[in-house]
Amino acid sequence: MTAALLAQRMLDGLSDTARAEMEDVLAELSRGGQGDLVALFSALLDGQDLTTALNLPDGTVALLYAQAHARFNAGQLTDALGLFQALVVLAPKVKDHWLGLGICLRLSNSLAGARLAFAAALDLAADCPAVTYHLAELCLAEDKLDQARALMQAFATFEDSSLKQTILPEARRLITAIHLRTGA
């Protein structure tokens, strides 16, 4: 379950008293110059995603993703990580946001965080070769060889696509590494 879905479930479970108390606190913060937090809270309670609730201009998420991707490609891992973190909050139902976050976390050696991000991406796109490959690579790094092998077996069953073809050379190296580590 993604963080946004968990947050929505928490909001859905608030009692009327808790909602009123939250609105009072947010109204006080809003008077202190924090913007209209009550309207934001109400929009979230109504089921709007954060991008809509914040009334962000069209294209904002796409621009942030382009920036995250560009920063990653430029080797600016910390900047890319921050942008991917923002993206999963703003648009949590987009597999590429979680995949990008997972890759950045993996490269930062934050394996537990990478696992959570890849799991969220996998929940959104179980048949995505990129997600499966990166999760298998993480499993190998964590010495979870049976999981890594099972993921690469799943990878082999995916329909042929340009994405799968792009990843295939790395996937073959990963399969070889798994075989060398397991002796099978």
User: What is residue 30's predicted lDDT score, i.e. its pLDDT?
Assistant: 61
Domain borders along the chain are 3-53, 57-109, 126-184
Q: Is the pLDDT of residue 5 over 60?
A: no
Indicate the pTM of the whole model: 0.77
Q: Count the Cβ atoms, other than its own, within 10 Å of residue 2.
A: 20
Condensed to tens digits (0 to 9), the pLDDT of residues 47-65 reads 777 788 777 788 889 999 9
Greater model confidence, 52 or 79: 79
Condensed to tens digits (0 to 9), the pLDDT of residues 121-164 reads 999 999 999 999 999 999 999 999 999 999 999 999 999 999 99
Q: Is the pLDDT of residue 11 over 60?
A: no
